[in-house]
Amino acid sequence: MIRREYYTLITSLPPLKRFDQAERLPINMERLKERLTMLWQEDVKLVDSVASLIIWHRQPMERSDEEMSVVYKQLMVSIDNPIIKEMINLRIDIRTIIVALRRRYRGLPAPQSGELWGIGRWVHHIEKHWDDQNLRLSSLYPWIPQAREHLENRNALELERLQMNQVWDGVGLLTEQNYFGIDVIFSYLFKWDMMQRWLANNGEAATIRFNELVSEAINDQGI
Amino acid sequence: MDYNIIFTLGWFGVFSPLALGAVGSIIGCARAGQAAAGAMLETEGGYGRFVGVSAMASSQTIYGIVVTLTLSRSLSQANAPGIFGIGFLCGLTLMASGIYQGYCCASSINVSKSKPEVFGLSLAPAAVVEGFAVFAFVFALVLAGGLPGGE
């Protein structure tokens, strides 16, 4: 595995505030894509393949769960970088746990053996411990009881925030010791994607941005 | 040991501080320079200080030049092994220092582009790395003074 370092690219990316504290994206998608042209060809392919599984707006609506599972398995085989693998697993595992909690909340029975309801490392464990309200994972994922509480209170926004906080912190921890490797670029893209998704759903931030655009337009026109 | 080998090692020791120090400076300055170029894309000013920081790792070559000039003398069986030991190990230290100082400078540029107030403090790790190069440099000069054939 060749470990390339991206000094110019990483220092050219603006810092990201925490997703729920940002009022707008510090870099827009066009500019980000332009900066990513500094990546080596092999890493561009890697970013593309991971983005198709993880990055929200890159996931085709028509993709079935089976296809998603196949893409996940292929990625796990083809990626050499353990940190990037762990980032993908982190995101997928959290998503699978939330799916399981939602199903339990709706009162659905344990998934049938062979039924495709989630992907990742915990699928069989969750099926086995379906009767436990925390899926016997709360020692590893201490946020599960809180997620359950948000589900029971029908607090979708807080549940989303909780999930995102887990991924945000987890991804940050994984790249704590690296400063200029491809995994840092992945960490940035994961966080940027989360921020974009959060802001898209946040009416207050959208209003602020709208007002900014109006002010800019007015200033440009000299009104 | 064969006289020719001893003689070759002596020359190896004479030129090592300069050559290895320059290798360290090349890698260190290239890393920090790339980081400086990236930071210029993202900031509106203060470019000069990014370029200045990116050149920090060039000092290892200067130390190497001084040590090489100090070790340079007519070689003999009596002084060649000592010149090899001092020169080669000093060169290795200068090379490692240049490479890792480049890392420190790139990180300093990365953090200070978005938080200019930590610019000075963020350079402390690079200064510490430089300190070890200075130790190797000074002690190489002191020890070289004790070798036969020096002026």
How do residues B35-68 score in pLDDT, each as one tens digit?
999 999 888 888 888 999 999 999 999 999 999 9
B107 contact A CB<8A: yes
Residue A180 covered by a domain: yes
**CA-based nearest residue in chain B for residue A5:** B31
**CA-based nearest residue in chain A for residue B40:** A12
Rounded to the nearest 10 degrees, how much is the dihedral formed by the CA atoms of B39, A175, A92, A96? -120
Give contacts of A175 with chain B, Cβ < 8 Å: none
- Lowest average pLDDT, out of A48-52, B71-75, B101-105, goes to A48-52
Residues 6+ apart with CB under 8 A from A220: none
What does the mean pLDDT of chain A come to?
Answer: 86
Residue A173 covered by a domain: yes
Which residue would you say has higher pLDDT here, B47 or A221? B47
By the 8 A CB rule, do A9 and A39 touch? yes
**CA-based nearest residue in chain A for residue B54:** A7
Cα dist from A96 to A102, A157, A198, B62, whole Å: 10, 18, 20, 58
Whether the predicted pLDDT of A206 surpasses 80: no
User: What gap in Å lies between CA B97 and CA A21, rounded to an integer?
Assistant: 40
Q: Which of A5, A11, A35 sits opposite B110 (nearest CB)?
A: A11
User: What gap in Å lies between CA A19 and CA A198, rounded to an integer?
Assistant: 7
Write out pLDDT tens, residues A121-174: 899 899 999 999 999 999 999 999 999 999 999 898 899 999 999 999 999 999
Model pLDDT, residue B11? 94
Whether the predicted pLDDT of B149 surpasses 80: no
By the 8 A CB rule, do B127 and B52 touch? no
Residue A2 covered by a domain: no
Does A179 contact B42 at a Cβ distance shorter than 8 Å? no
Q: Under DSSP, is residue A2 helix (H, G, I), strand (E, B) or coil?
A: coil
Model pLDDT, residue A59? 66
- CA angle B50–B90–B94, rounded 5-degree value: 10
Q: What is the largest CA-CA distance in chain A?
A: 67
- Lowest average pLDDT, out of A53-57, A150-154, A190-194, B128-132, goes to A53-57
Q: Minimal Cα–Cα distance from B37 to chain A, Å?
A: 6
Confidence band, pLDDT 50/70/90 cuts, at residue B150: low
Model pLDDT, residue A57? 62
Q: Minimal Cα–Cα distance from B19 to chain A, Å?
A: 25
Model pLDDT, residue A54? 76
Cα dist from A215 to A21, A160, A212, A220, A221, whole Å: 22, 32, 5, 8, 10
Model pLDDT, residue B20? 97
Q: In B, residues 56-95, which contact A (CB 8 Å cutoff)?
A: none
Q: Map out the domains of chain B with their CATH numbers.
A: 3-144 (1.20.120.610)
Residue type present at position A59: Q
Q: Tell me the H-state helices in A36-78.
A: 41-54, 65-78
Model pLDDT, residue A178? 79
User: What gap in Å lies between CA B118 and CA B112, rounded to an integer?
Assistant: 6
Across-strand partners of A181? A5
Phi, then psi, of A142 in degrees rounded to 5? -65, -10
Confidence band, pLDDT 50/70/90 cuts, at residue A103: very high
ipTM of the complex: 0.77
Percent of chain A with pLDDT over 90: 45
Q: What is the largest CA-CA distance in chain B?
A: 62
Cα dist from B136 to A113, A132, B14, whole Å: 66, 62, 15
Number of independent structural domains in chain A: 1
**CA-based nearest residue in chain A for residue B112:** A11
Q: Which of A11, A15, A35 sits opposite B35 (nearest CB)?
A: A11
Q: Minimal Cα–Cα distance from B33 to chain A, Å?
A: 8
Model pLDDT, residue A200? 84
Does B35 contact A14 at a Cβ distance shorter than 8 Å? no
- CA angle A194–A56–A20, rounded 5-degree value: 15
Range of the domain at A84: 7-221
Across-strand partners of A5? A181
CB contacts < 8 A, A to B, total 44
Q: Which of A10, A15, A179 sits opposite B38 (nearest CB)?
A: A10
Residue A16 covered by a domain: yes
Model pLDDT, residue B29? 96
Q: Which of A7, A14, A15 sits opposite B106 (nearest CB)?
A: A7
What does the mean pLDDT of chain B come to?
Answer: 93
Q: Which of B31, B42, B107 sits opposite A12 (nearest CB)?
A: B42
Residue A1 covered by a domain: no
Residue B93 CA neighbour count, 13 Å, CB half: 21
Tokens encoding B88: 């080669």
Write out pLDDT tens, residues B92-144: 999 999 999 999 999 999 999 888 888 889 999 999 999 999 999 999 999 99
Tokens encoding B34: 């790339």
- The residue length of chain B stands at 151
pTM of the model: 0.80
Model pLDDT, residue A98? 93
Q: Which of B27, B29, B31, B34 has the most A C-beta neighbours within 10 Å, making it the best mutation to test the interface with A? A: B34
- Mean pLDDT for the stretch of residues A24-50: 90
Give contacts of B31 with chain A, Cβ < 8 Å: 5, 7, 180
User: What gap in Å lies between CA A138 and CA A118, rounded to an integer?
Assistant: 18
Does B106 contact A14 at a Cβ distance shorter than 8 Å? no
Q: Minimal Cα–Cα distance from B103 to chain A, Å?
A: 9
Model pLDDT, residue A72? 87
